[in-house]
Amino acid sequence: MISALNRLVDLVEEHLTEELDVNGLARALGTTEYPRMADPESARGQSR
């Protein structure tokens, strides 16, 4: 996970003068823009 965060920081720093593209960053990291792991219950469509 640390290496992915480091890669994210590198990508953001490489494009500081550009508009932030969350989808592009997610693609570059091999993931999606949605933080499903933050709330696994909602990712499965279940409520608490």
Give the whole-angstrom CA distance, residue 4 versus residue 10.
10
Q: What was the pLDDT predicted at 39?
A: 58
- The pLDDT tens digits of the residues spanning 11-48 come to 999 999 999 898 898 889 888 877 655 555 555 555 54
pLDDT at 36: 57
Residues 44, 29, 13, 16, CA torsion sign: negative
pLDDT at 38: 59
pTM of the model: 0.59
